[in-house]
């Protein structure tokens, strides 16, 4: 046996780490690991999802590789998740107090976290402001347009948004809910569907 072969045999193999998404122990590709302020994420070779790693597993990888690749700004942006609740909070916060009363702002901001994210879309926001909270048409339309713009901006950063946009397109362009008339009133869980029982 030559010296080169001996060194090859003694070289430790990359550590196995557990994927927090699929639960499998995998050997991640170093180019698919990204350091984060709180630890590291990896692209799992088994389920192909980005998954957060535990501190003990991050340490194993650092012990083996020395240091982990830092994410580039552009890559971080591409992986950014679209959070409908945060978008609504931003839109509502930025509307002038002369157009939207502080009381209504506060009510929306205090309750938006209780609304399932999958129900939130431009049509939902328009319906909430115009029909449920009786805000004037101009302000409701402004909020609607800003939500569409936020979705478009995200779509340009991430192809994953395309499927979401396709799925909610009928709702985006049906702000009065004509296509929803036969469905239960779920647009805004924190405001009663019948305010005058």
Count of domains forming the chain: 2
Overall average pLDDT of the 164-176 stretch: 56
Task: Report d(CA 115, CA 150) in Å as an integer.
Answer: 19
Contact present, 81 and 157 (Cβ < 8 Å) = no
Among 28, 57, 79, give the residue marking a domain's end: 79
pLDDT digits over 109-154, tens only? 888 888 888 889 899 999 999 988 999 999 999 999 999 888 888 7
Please tell me whether residues 42 and 88 are part of one structural domain. Answer: no
Q: Which stretch of DSSP H or E encloses residue 39?
A: strand 39-43
Among 28, 44, 79, give the residue marking a domain's end: 79
Closest-CA residue to 123 (of 173, 163, 190)? 173
- Residue 66 falls within a domain, yes or no? yes
Among 32, 58, 79, give the residue marking a domain's end: 79
- Residue 186 falls within a domain, yes or no? no
Please tell me whether residues 90 and 172 are part of one structural domain. Answer: yes
**Domain housing 17:** 3-79
- Residue 57 falls within a domain, yes or no? yes
Task: Report d(CA 87, CA 82) in Å as an integer.
Answer: 8
Find where tokens 């702000």 sit.
175
The pTM of this model reads 0.43
pLDDT digits over 21-30, tens only? 888 899 888 8
Q: How would you class 165 by CB atoms within 10 Å of its CB: exposed for 0-12, middle for 13-18, buried for 19 or more?
A: middle
- Residue 194 falls within a domain, yes or no? no
pLDDT digits over 46-103, tens only? 888 888 888 888 888 888 887 777 655 544 444 457 788 999 999 999 988 888 888 9
CB atoms within 10 A of CB 143: 25
Please tell me whether residues 34 and 94 are part of one structural domain. Answer: no
Please tell me whether residues 68 and 7 are part of one structural domain. Answer: yes
Please tell me whether residues 88 and 176 are part of one structural domain. Answer: yes
Q: In the beta sheet, which residues pair with residue 81? A: none
Please tell me whether residues 100 and 167 are part of one structural domain. Answer: yes
Q: How far is CA 146 from CA 84, 142, 152, 156, 192, in A?
A: 12, 6, 10, 15, 26
Overall average pLDDT of the 161-184 stretch: 53
Rg (CA), the chain: 24
Task: Report d(CA 15, CA 19) in Å as an integer.
Answer: 13
Task: Report d(CA 70, CA 62) in Å as an integer.
Answer: 13
Overall average pLDDT of the 170-187 stretch: 48
Q: How would you class 122 by CB atoms within 10 Å of its CB: exposed for 0-12, middle for 13-18, buried for 19 or more?
A: buried
Please tell me whether residues 114 and 172 are part of one structural domain. Answer: yes
pLDDT score recorded for residue 125: 92
Please tell me whether residues 88 and 25 are part of one structural domain. Answer: no
Please tell me whether residues 70 and 105 are part of one structural domain. Answer: no
Please tell me whether residues 65 and 39 are part of one structural domain. Answer: yes
- Residue 192 falls within a domain, yes or no? no
Please tell me whether residues 96 and 73 are part of one structural domain. Answer: no
């Amino acid at each position: 046996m030559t010296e080169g072969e001996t060194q090859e045999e003694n070289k430790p193999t990359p550590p196995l780490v557990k994927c927090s998404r699929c639960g499998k122990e995998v050997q991640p590709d170093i180019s698919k690991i990204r350091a984060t302020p709180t630890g590291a994420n990896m692209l799992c070779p088994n389920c192909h999802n980005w998954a957060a790693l535990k501190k003990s597993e991050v340490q194993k990888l650092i012990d083996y590789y020395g240091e982990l690749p830092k994410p580039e700004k552009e890559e971080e942006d591409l992986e950014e998740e679209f959070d409908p609740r945060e978008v609504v909070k931003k839109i509502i916060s930025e509307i002038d107090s002369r157009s939207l009363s502080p009381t209504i702002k506060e009510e929306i901001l205090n309750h938006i976290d209780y609304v399932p994210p999958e129900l939130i879309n431009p049509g939902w926001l328009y319906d909430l402001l115009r029909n449920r909270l009786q805000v004037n048409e101009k302000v409701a339309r402004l909020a609607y347009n800003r939500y569409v713009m936020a979705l478009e901006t995200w779509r340009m950063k991430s192809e994953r948004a395309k499927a979401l946009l396709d799925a909610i397109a009928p709702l985006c362009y049906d702000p009065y809910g004509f296509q929803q008339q036969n469905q239960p009133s779920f647009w805004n869980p924190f405001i009663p569907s019948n305010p005058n029982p």
